[in-house]
Amino acid sequence: MDEDWHRRISIHDISPREYMYFPKGVLEQSKPGEFSFIEIIHILLAIGALSIAFTFTLTKNSILWSLIGYNIDFHRLLEGIPYALLGVLTAFTGHELSHKLMAQHYGLWSEFRMYNLGLLFSMFFAITTGFVFAAPGAVMFRGEPRIFEEGHIAAAGPTTNIIIGAATLPFIVFSKGLFSRHIGFICVINVILAVFNLLPLQAFDGIKIIRWSTTIWLILFIISIILLILILPYITLVSTF
């Protein structure tokens, strides 16, 4: 009966505007871990765009940096790509896939969709200023999750970032060398993403978690803030090379 209930509430009609993002047939329920072809394309494009953006930030190759004395160095730009990619894979991909898998766990149709303008703006802003304003897209799901289910889905992303951030923190605090600096970047990007998404603002994970449990939100937010405070002295060291 529980299975029938999940099936009944998981498939909803969607508007013509949304149909641009959901080709025919993709609203069928899938097992946890299953991806559609269009979702894979969206994920890969988002990873590529964000990696390009963070590469320009990491290597200080931007129009703004060139105006204040940093020459554009294409060799350094190429060197930064694998480290930016590693950071994006752990932070962005880990965050979004955690949302997706949790939603699928509760019987909901769930897929990632990139935000075209957000990705273009992220790259443009990084190339011109050297800073990243990441708006890659989001995991969408169809159905009517109960309050605790929506809370679990929302909490899954920031929790993953917190775990990765905490696991890589020692590379910043106790280790030295180029390798540690770049692994430290993974810590920085994950912690910042966790704090940002836990803000109690509309459309953020934080407000959805609060609707379910203020206590859980407070615990996650406090942990993320503590991690942020711990990495603050090292952000400049690990975010450029």
**Of 202, 20, 181, 204, which is closest to residue 95 (Cα–Cα)?**
204
Catalytic residue among 39, 96, 111, 150: 96
84 and 11 in contact (C-beta within 8 Å)?
no
122 and 62 in contact (C-beta within 8 Å)?
no
- Rounded to an integer, the average pLDDT of 25-53 is 81
Residue 91 pLDDT level (bands cut at 50, 70, 90): very high
Cα-based distances in Å from 215 to 37, 56, 95, 187: 38, 39, 21, 25
Domain range list for the chain: 1-144, 154-241
Say whether 39 is catalytic. Answer: no
Answer yes or no: is pLDDT of 75 > 60.
yes
pLDDT in tens, 2-14: 444 443 333 233 3
Residue 43 pLDDT level (bands cut at 50, 70, 90): very high
190 and 90 in contact (C-beta within 8 Å)?
yes
pLDDT in tens, 208-235: 999 999 999 999 999 999 999 998 887 7
What tokens does 117 get? 């303008």
- Rounded to an integer, the average pLDDT of 152-178 is 88
- What is the reported pTM? 0.80
To which H or E segment does residue 132 belong?
A: none
Dist. CA 141–CA 138, nearest whole Å? 10
